[in-house]
Structure 1
């Protein structure tokens, strides 16, 4: 919301939207992150009369042509030349018109924008992995109008969803993703109409039991139906499950969606899917004429899938016991139908477990602002406008706090860089503002956000002040109730901050990883690592807070007290050598060994530094710092290493 609002004034920028399971509210193991991107200055219309709503000098209009495409698909042709080079290269000429070829557009965007992450085509998306997290990025076009082929859906919504939800969905239009129909006349050039935003709103319109039914179907698909099946033979997907739930809810087949009837609702949805596979027809929820099984689930594969589902059907609900994720929750109910299933999440997960998942999610998704003071100021203004909104949920308030802390930190360092001048008066004023921003960020964020103040003091040669901040952080991190990644003493945490607001918990009891923007030189000692990651098209440098804490302590004490610098170095060395995942996550051992090597090198222990750099190269290359590591090894004077 913040990033898209910030891009309103820059019409040629990409806008983005999370989609898929994570956007809908699921956090399931193995789920990827789905994102949609579209150009803000390109708009699709369904009728030429809709062009009156746009300034054609600033926006390129694209017209739909569904006349020769299967239901749910369309051709897109330019009404006027586009200034975007990717669109220009994607055009093909048919019937004296310039159509945007979906296959060409997909190929260009995947090869250019997603190359750094070794992505591969997956349907309309670029699919790849960042660290251990898989992602699907879809570059698409947006339309502000509801598709005429889906008008019938509006008239079907008598019982569900409610009228205000329908109105909200319709006024938000649709998207077009770069994939054609396999049996269409223009497969390489057609675009599929995407209702991703509408589907999100429909999932949010479900009650809790309906949502759990959808989740149950997703789990049995992964853990039972597709278990042990090769990727090419996985005919059913999560989208089919979601479509079944939508149809069952809207057709009012289940009169009461409640915990006591959870398995009953699931069984109705499963039987509908079985019926679809038998008939070879899965009607799209918005455009029923679009059979989503056409060309995919047919012939021998359809028969084999039907046999597989029939065998599960004959076992009855007992086949759910084959799902390791849900077996323990439903086994008592299957043995005694008079029992009911507990669906109260507060009874199923402890406060500590809930907080851990929440903070992991919130701290992981901090934005990284570009090195541009105007961009930082514009983003702060956007946040200021959003803070007072009564529509924000308490989850969004927590997220906004983290975004605010991140933007303030980036702004503080950027301001220092852009205003550094021999004019002492100007630098002094900028320094006061930067310090104030960093202290304010620490009030919004978690414990380890205070480290940015220490980095700034070190950068501006205030070693004693930096050490004072470091000692304060040490005291805070030493508290037995502090939560870091997956490690927390549940009893101590509950006793210290149980029942308090998430804002209070985050400031007093949560430590997060330190994320460094690659374009901001926080401290000179880490610039080679930032440049290496940047050259490898990596988004940021992620450092364990305990590692950065010791590094800053060593660097500061070198100018104040060399004996204490050696003590801090010994502490860092013990941490890196003997930690078993409590303070250094496995994925961050590359940067941890690297920082140990840097500290050993600056203190003159070159043999130990060489060993640490080589250890860094042996770790999983999460931070993409290998180039910097090899450069540091080559810079060591080999004569002094023997």
Structure 2
């Protein structure tokens, strides 16, 4: 058993992640959200990632879960808490759970709101205005992604191959009284500091009522998503892997038993099982040698719950999460299936396609030597590659005006200044470094746009010097592709030869055989070229990323329609941007070289197999090819490219701009 547990521990580290990987997945998300929250205006929406990805999982098929709530609305538990808020700029909502089942509540609007969807969702009961969860859910489920469908309290759908759930909710700064017993239970786990942090940060309310509640359409469910990911953070790695093993076991074994029962249990039930087992101290020592023992203890508790038809919510045990699904004949069928697996003992794990091979290795090699120190499981290249993926994010300017975008940049600068004074971890410092580069680039273009049309030469000269300095500094902080922001700026300010000089330097770096782009890297050459060097050196010499253009900032005038049709930022593959800038600059200098650049761009868009032009960005790739063809007067080719752009996955959300360009081309062809 011990040897088998160690083998499964190693296998799970490969599937779920080592402690290092899980740590920087969490830290990258934490610091990005910390920055985002500090710079989000009072009248905007706060975004929080939740679910398995926030917890540190990257399992195949795992979706992206996000919660959104208006920053200027707060739920209070009792009227005395209203004294903590200025109602001139914060709308207050009262949690009224007098007639609701445990874990659910009504939300009474106490003060006026300017948010239209909240106002439209109001219903009157007992001469009071309550926010209807069903109406609010209907009004908001597709506000982030228009093609979403309703799934529970969420809007759900796909962007390319990535599935997402978005939940619009309300935040409460106070711990709900119905969950006060949880605080009293925390004797051994989690530790006092974690308990205080969780309680201090309150809870959320998501738009779904209890199916058996008398006010189902009006009720809201108390969500402990924030508390849950902090609890998962407080697990040791063996406990986390046990949780991961249960998720895999659910998907690959339990859900494969029959179609009748494969929707009865969910990942949340697995998480709840692990929480209870850890807190009850059922297994006193969690380590690689005990991993399968921990799994078996959790499985037995789950089996007991299914038998009784009771799954107590970890925070509010009176809320039986099996009440509406796991009951009657379906409960009986599920119990019989789980009991058959239980009778097989740990051999039931052989039915898991992911875990089977690690168990078989031990069965056939009982004396196999197994190292359980996960620090040696991944190479430097693997860690760097995941760090690049996890730290890939942009600062999105959501404000409708350039003035407010400037204010947000100023707030960003203050936030970065405050954060660098904190004792940051290595991974947090890397994220902050990439954030600073993005911030400098945005500031440089905002600064330039402010003074371009002033007509005051001295102001323009000073602004230009400042912008150039910021972009050069950003390139030192950032990766290879960050040099292209300098080239974009030179093109925008009519310095075509300077832009081409930067592009040529970028091409040299992009042609290196050790370059890391997304998941693609030649491991041996990368290790030989930059192995053991600082992260800053690796970024400047061997790491490149896509180009991110924030919506409210003009980077290249030729892409203004595409930027304006987006809600947030435009993402362009770096190799595509190189050829695009090449074409734009040479158009003013050398028509022969301009045609050559266009030919290279066309070959890339037509024939790339996802290496340099990822599938999710083929819409903008065809669009840019069409723009270049239209500029040269090749209208038929441009029309074909725009039409191709519309057939791609609309991940960049540029269809409005594409339709506008098609109309323009058709109009020119008809003249």
Which bin holds the TM-score, normalised by the shorter protein?
A: over 0.9
* Counterpart pick for 2:46 among 15, 33, 44: 15
Corresponding residue for residue 253 of structure 1: 282
SS at match of 1:621: coil
Provide the C-alpha distance between the structure 1 equivalents of 2:157 and 2:376, rounded to a whole number of angstroms.
37
SS at match of 2:620: helix
SS at match of 2:156: strand
Q: Return the offset for 1:436.
A: 1.6
Are 1:366 and 1:402, in contact at CA under 8 Å, matched by a contact in 2?
no
Q: What TM-score, normalized to structure 2?
A: 0.89
Q: What's the CA shift string for 1:391-421, capped at 9, x where partnerless?
A: x332222222222222222222122222222
SS at match of 1:138: strand
Higher deviation after alignment, 152-161 or 356-365: 356-365
Q: Map of 1:535-554 to 2, 5 A cutoff?
A: 538-554=567-583
SS at match of 2:138: helix
SS at match of 1:64: strand
Corresponding residue for residue 232 of structure 2: 203
Corresponding residue for residue 540 of structure 2: 507
Q: Return the offset for 1:160.
A: 0.8
Q: Supply the RMSD in Å over aligned alpha carbons.
A: 2.5
* Counterpart pick for 1:383 among 407, 416, 419: 416
- In structure 2, the CA distance between the partners of 1:613 and 1:214, relative to structure 1 (3 Å rule), is same
- In structure 2, the CA distance between the partners of 1:571 and 1:172, relative to structure 1 (3 Å rule), is same
Are 2:261 and 2:333, in contact at CA under 8 Å, matched by a contact in 1?
no
Are 1:117 and 1:129, in contact at CA under 8 Å, matched by a contact in 2?
no
Q: Return the offset for 1:627.
A: 4.4
Matched, 1:477 2:510: yes
Corresponding residue for residue 19 of structure 2: none
Are 1:448 and 1:514, in contact at CA under 8 Å, matched by a contact in 2?
yes
Corresponding residue for residue 434 of structure 2: 402
Corresponding residue for residue 73 of structure 2: 42
- In structure 2, the CA distance between the partners of 1:539 and 1:344, relative to structure 1 (3 Å rule), is farther
Provide the C-alpha distance between the structure 1 equivalents of 2:502 and 2:597, rounded to a whole number of angstroms.
15
Q: Return the offset for 1:242.
A: 0.5
Provide the C-alpha distance between the structure 1 equivalents of 2:140 and 2:662, rounded to a whole number of angstroms.
37
Gaps of 5+ in 2: 1-33
Corresponding residue for residue 97 of structure 1: 128
Q: Return the offset for 1:452.
A: 0.9
Provide the C-alpha distance between the structure 2 equivalents of 1:53 and 1:220, rounded to a whole number of angstroms.
46
Are 1:61 and 1:79, in contact at CA under 8 Å, matched by a contact in 2?
yes
- In structure 2, the CA distance between the partners of 1:518 and 1:231, relative to structure 1 (3 Å rule), is farther
Are 1:451 and 1:470, in contact at CA under 8 Å, matched by a contact in 2?
yes
Corresponding residue for residue 347 of structure 1: 376
Provide the C-alpha distance between the structure 1 equivalents of 2:389 and 2:199, rounded to a whole number of angstroms.
34
Q: What's the CA shift string for 1:126-182, capped at 9, x where partnerless?
A: 222233322212122222222112121111111111111111111111111111111
Provide the C-alpha distance between the structure 1 equivalents of 2:75 and 2:635, rounded to a whole number of angstroms.
61
- In structure 2, the CA distance between the partners of 1:338 and 1:317, relative to structure 1 (3 Å rule), is farther
Q: Return the offset for 1:264.
A: 1.0
Corresponding residue for residue 520 of structure 1: 553
Are 1:330 and 1:341, in contact at CA under 8 Å, matched by a contact in 2?
no
Q: What's the CA shift string for 1:241-275, capped at 9, x where partnerless?
A: 01000100011111210001111101111111111
Q: Return the offset for 1:364.
A: 4.3
* Counterpart pick for 1:442 among 455, 475, 481: 475
Matched, 1:557 2:613: no
SS at match of 2:208: coil
- In structure 2, the CA distance between the partners of 1:118 and 1:339, relative to structure 1 (3 Å rule), is same
Q: What's the CA shift string for 1:293-349, capped at 9, x where partnerless?
A: 011111111112112212222222222233233333333245567768655444333
* Counterpart pick for 1:486 among 519, 522, 530: 519
Q: Return the offset for 1:211.
A: 0.5
Are 2:549 and 2:571, in contact at CA under 8 Å, matched by a contact in 1?
yes
Corresponding residue for residue 108 of structure 2: 77
- In structure 2, the CA distance between the partners of 1:380 and 1:316, relative to structure 1 (3 Å rule), is same
SS at match of 2:71: strand
Matched, 1:54 2:88: no
Are 1:368 and 1:406, in contact at CA under 8 Å, matched by a contact in 2?
no
Q: Return the offset for 1:110.
A: 2.1
Are 2:551 and 2:568, in contact at CA under 8 Å, matched by a contact in 1?
yes
* Counterpart pick for 1:570 among 599, 602, 605: 599
SS at match of 2:170: strand
- In structure 2, the CA distance between the partners of 1:187 and 1:615, relative to structure 1 (3 Å rule), is closer
Provide the C-alpha distance between the structure 2 equivalents of 1:550 and 1:83, rounded to a whole number of angstroms.
47
Provide the C-alpha distance between the structure 2 equivalents of 1:332 and 1:122, rounded to a whole number of angstroms.
41
Q: What's the CA shift string for 1:176-208, capped at 9, x where partnerless?
A: 111111111211111111111111111111001
Q: What TM-score, normalized to structure 1?
A: 0.92
Provide the C-alpha distance between the structure 2 equivalents of 1:614 and 1:39, rounded to a whole number of angstroms.
38
Are 1:446 and 1:506, in contact at CA under 8 Å, matched by a contact in 2?
yes
- In structure 2, the CA distance between the partners of 1:554 and 1:248, relative to structure 1 (3 Å rule), is same
Q: Aligned residue pairs: how many?
A: 633
- In structure 2, the CA distance between the partners of 1:403 and 1:332, relative to structure 1 (3 Å rule), is same
Corresponding residue for residue 415 of structure 1: 447
Provide the C-alpha distance between the structure 2 equivalents of 1:402 and 1:502, rounded to a whole number of angstroms.
11
Corresponding residue for residue 393 of structure 1: 425
Are 1:72 and 1:149, in contact at CA under 8 Å, matched by a contact in 2?
yes
Provide the C-alpha distance between the structure 2 equivalents of 1:147 and 1:341, rounded to a whole number of angstroms.
46
Provide the C-alpha distance between the structure 1 equivalents of 2:147 and 2:669, rounded to a whole number of angstroms.
40
- In structure 2, the CA distance between the partners of 1:297 and 1:405, relative to structure 1 (3 Å rule), is same
Corresponding residue for residue 357 of structure 1: 386
* Counterpart pick for 1:29 among 60, 69, 73: 60
Gaps of 5+ in 1: none
Q: Return the offset for 1:487.
A: 1.5
